A and B are shown apart, each in its own frame.
Chain A
């Protein structure tokens, strides 16, 4: 059967209710369709680009103001010395984790459905990490000295203190970003070559040509390439576990009540993957709609993502229960106060209950099979879960700091307008980067989808 001339064969019948691909598109059409957004911007894109561009300018303004004036313009002060900066850092970095989970974990487990969404998820990881890195750097107070975090033999004779958790964090985030970037770029190479060979006009052809590094799809190259791709996936996989574990260690080296439960590392990892899945859904549902990709990103993808969300939600619920139980079981009056009294009924109680509603209540809708394939339900749930996960970090950081051991030093925290501008601005900046990605990079892995249709066709033949 000739791949290029065959009419669309029906997708392979499976035992699952929803097929991975609605129809098997032929390779030529697949290439042209998935590269088309690179050549012509849609009006929707222009509008969104303008909106996120303005938001990014707000971020630039707020960051400049912070750097020029000092971080006193933020709301955090003793006792709440960590606030928005660290909340946003943990939130963004957590979102990044799902990208690696989808691209690396699911590759190793041979989950073929990942082919339609892994590129988007990986790009999300990179952009989330870029946003995450912004916050600790600004929180340094003098961000222009950020390179002091890098261990190098300086003339000052000073080194980072490796017995502290903060340099671990710097190492983890740096390694995570570089490995994710390499993995993403390696996966992108064959598709950049497709873009090079299909680009209208010399300039674009040259630009994609340079980034494709001269990829020509040689059998000898694929042979090594596939090995390298699996190797990088295998290397990225432990990073999913380690990075957020190390982030949680930033907390657990402190004495504060509510910060050093032994469940923290896995609890953070689960929360990270959970929020990341929510973000993937929030991104792919509009993409699927705007670019008309319903046959490639199918009900199967939505269903699987919803099931993963539900599973992560229950792991998170388990973590919440253990955290609260251990606080009670420890007999420590401060732990008991923070977990059993201040969080559920103190000054920030309403945030706590909104968080529980979003993180624990909302995903339960995915027990209903129709909700799992409904794009509006998934999109709404994704937004709520992202909000809930942000609030979770707020609760952990702010409640513990504001009411610790000594009632005379208790104080409440409130963010300033600069805090809000930076948070909103970073969301815009994320959107801007993502829009640029959708405009200039093949955002669905064309070669992996071809491989998938190839295998499905062979399976049905």
Chain B
């Protein structure tokens, strides 16, 4: 196992025990925590002390950019690059540009939200150290895992085992962690 990091992975059969484990571990000053669950669990974000996502703000910026681009292309094409006199109507017809500008705004925002989400969570990443862990595949079915990173000392591991014993984890394993 490399020095960069190992992690202790604890498997629980129900989410309540997992949440209690998170609280216990925090109380004992373990900070590098992560959970792996088959569906989102209310209360995990708070217990992991995750900051409020800034995704909405960047999505708004993406929408704004989309709208500007959408309007800009229409304005440029109709008034500058390819002016056509259609029954004497004004070349720069702001009202006629609303629908496509709106669609461009929504498209820009949605693409931004999707791409930035993947960037923030670091996917696609087809391999991850946890995938090497025995029976970890149940994390996408019915098991709830907690990871405590940066723990290597056997005494420390025994301490964690002792700490979580009353929550009856299904198993506790030591694995490599991502750098």
Q: Give me the interface of A with B, judged by CB distance under 8 Å.
A: 1-5, 26-28, 31, 151, 153, 157-163, 165, 167-168, 171-172, 174-176, 178-179, 182-183, 186, 190, 193-194, 196-198, 209-210, 213-228, 231-232, 235-236, 238-239, 242, 246, 249, 447-448, 450-451, 454
Contact = CB atoms under 8 A, between A and B. Distances in A.
18 contacts: A4-B13, A4-B142, A151-B77, A210-B126, A215-B140, A218-B36, A219-B48, A220-B34, A221-B121, A223-B45, A223-B48, A231-B109, A231-B113, A235-B59, A235-B109, A239-B103, A447-B40, A454-B41
A238 B106 contact: yes
B53 to A, nearest CB: 4
A27 B127 CA distance: 25
A216 to B, nearest CB: 6
Given A171-B100, A235-B109, A161 B45 contact: no
B39 A246 contact: no
The 5 closest A-B pairs by CB, nearest first: A27-B142, A197-B137, A159-B77, A219-B35, A213-B124
Nearest to B46: A223
Nearest to A173: B103
Contacts, number: 208
A2 B16 CA distance: 9
A5 B17 CA distance: 14
Nearest to A227: B53
Given A158-B82, A242-B102, A246-B99, A217 B36 contact: yes
Given A216-B130, A239-B103, 19 more contacts: A4-B142, A31-B140, A159-B82, A163-B78, A167-B100, A171-B100, A175-B103, A179-B110, A182-B111, A197-B141, A213-B118, A215-B123, A219-B45, A220-B121, A222-B41, A223-B45, A223-B50, A228-B114, A231-B109
Given A3-B13, A179-B110, A214-B128, A225 B143 contact: no
B55 interface: yes
| Among B59, B114, B130: residue with most chain A CB under 10 A | B114
A3 B89 CA distance: 67
A209 B127 CA distance: 9
A269 to B, nearest CB: 14
A228 B117 contact: yes
Contacts of A448: 39
Interface in B76-105: 77-78, 81-82, 84, 86, 89, 93, 96-97, 99-100, 102-104
A163 B142 contact: no
B71 to A, nearest CB: 10
Interface residues of B, number: 65
Contact of B117 (A216, A224, A246): A224
Contacts of A197: 137-141
A274 B130 CA distance: 46
B141 A162 contact: no
Contacts of B53: 223-224, 227
B100 A451 contact: no
A318 to B, nearest CB: 25
B14 interface: yes
B140 A194 contact: yes
